[in-house]
Amino acid sequence: MSAARREPFGAVDGIAVEQFILANSNGIEVRAISYGGIITSIVTPDQDGVIADIVLGFDKLDGYVASDPYFGAIIGRYANRIANARFMVEGVEHHLAANDGRHHLHGGAAGFDKMIWQAAALPGGSGVAFDYESADGQEGYPGTLRVRVRYQLTDANELIVDYQATTDKTTHVNLTQHSYFNLAGEGSGDVLDHRLTIAADRYLPVDATLIPLGAIAPVAGTPFDFRTSRAIGGAYDHNFVLNNWSGAIRHVARASEPASNRTLDVATSAPGLQFYAGNSLNGRLIGKSGRTYGPHGGFCLETQHYPDSPNRPEFPTTLLSPGEVYQSTTIFTFGWSG
């Protein structure tokens, strides 16, 4: 394992942004920047040893600042949607930023994806830690929230993402990583022929605004049944209720691309997985390859709590109180065969 390298990656409002470069002994390289904790690049070999960058993104910081697909970013305080941009905590109603119609999405108009994080290489050179303090009232959330997210690349081809947070007032927290993957290489076309398996017997049906209807429904006999490997094939933006949730890390998903034989495995301690098939990509964004990102040009496997949990007492709670530590871990493992 080589030591993490760091280099300049532009500036926002006069504040310098740095890029950290992690590499392992198997030819995998991960790059992440202090703006949004964004993963800008993941380079992996295929079955023939040909390397490609398998996440969507931009060559320069300006692309991330100007666009809103959340490419590669840390999402918070609350990943996914909160209905009507409000929730109650200890008898007090809190009004959040409404940035998705009347709803709150991915932390609001200026979520964690738009913040500059404090960053430092981890001891041993295998990773980077990003720290951010979210002020009481930011985007409508109560409490000062202190967040640390660590990325660590191992020689077992794992990218380990650890989330921790503490608060001085009871609040809601739900963090995730929003990389868009294309295992054939970013800019190479759509991902509809990628094959996907998700270890979920149930999912959350949603209304036209993507807010859960309330029921938790079986996937059997529906287009949401990914319990055995099948092609993505269409548009998805739904939360899957992962099997065997106890807070322990377990394997929950596997994606593969038939031409390159690249694979991506996901393990997590989270209860849910938002599978998004890049439905809103429309060919207007030009990526690192110089090619446009069209519909379904990448897919996201966002490990998280369920959408609108603050307003759904029947869902696993996302409340964090003073003295408690929010802790979640997701492991992305990259592979290839041939």
Assign 3-class secondary structure to the chain.
CCCCEEEEEEEECCEEEEEEEEECCCCCEEEEECECCCEEEEEEECCCCCEEECECCCCCHHHHHHCCCCCCCEECCECCEEHHHEEEECCEEEECCCCECCEEECCCCCCHHHCECEEEECCCCCEEEEEEEECCCHHHCCCCEEEEEEEEECCCCEEEEEEEEEECCCEECECEECCCECCCCCCCCCCCCCEEEECCCEECCECCCCCECCCCEECCCCCCCCCCCEECCCCCEEEEECCCCCCCCEEEEEEECCCCCEEEEEEECCCEEEEECCCCCCCCCECCCCCECCCCCCEEEEEECCCCHHHCCCCCCCEECCCCCEEEEEEEEEEECC
pLDDT at residue 230 is higher than 70: yes
Residues 6+ apart with CB under 8 A from 41: 29, 30, 31, 53, 55, 57, 288
pLDDT at residue 216 is higher than 70: yes
What value does the mean pLDDT take over residues 156-171?
98
pTM of the model: 0.97
Residue range 139-159, pLDDT digits in tens: 999 999 999 999 999 999 999
| Alpha-carbon span 204 to 301, nearest angstrom | 15
Residue range 32-52, pLDDT digits in tens: 999 999 999 999 999 999 999
Per annotation, catalytic residue among 18, 257, 302, 305: 302
pLDDT at residue 185 is higher than 60: yes
Residue range 284-311, pLDDT digits in tens: 999 999 999 999 999 999 999 999 999 9
pLDDT at residue 209 is higher than 80: yes
Look up 95 and say whether it is catalytic.
no
| Alpha-carbon span 157 to 54, nearest angstrom | 14
pLDDT at residue 125 is higher than 80: no
For the 5-336 domain, the top CATH level (class) is mainly beta
What value does the mean pLDDT take over residues 268-279?
98
* Tokens of residue 191, six digits: 């991902």
Per annotation, catalytic residue among 178, 238, 296, 305: 178
pLDDT at residue 174 is higher than 70: yes
With cut-offs at 50, 70 and 90, classify the pLDDT of residue 124: confident
Assess whether the previous peptide bond of 77 is cis (omega < 30° from 0).
Answer: yes
String of b and e for 97-122 (b: at least 16 CB within 10 Å)? bbbbeebbbbbbeebbbbbbbebebe
Q: Give pLDDT, residue 338.
A: 62
* Tokens of residue 281, six digits: 């990509």
Q: Which residue has the tokens 């809601």?
A: 172
Q: Give pLDDT, residue 3.
A: 64
Q: Give pLDDT, residue 1.
A: 53
Look up 324 and say whether it is catalytic.
no
Residues 6+ apart with CB under 8 A from 335: 157, 262, 263, 264, 265
Q: Give pLDDT, residue 126.
A: 84
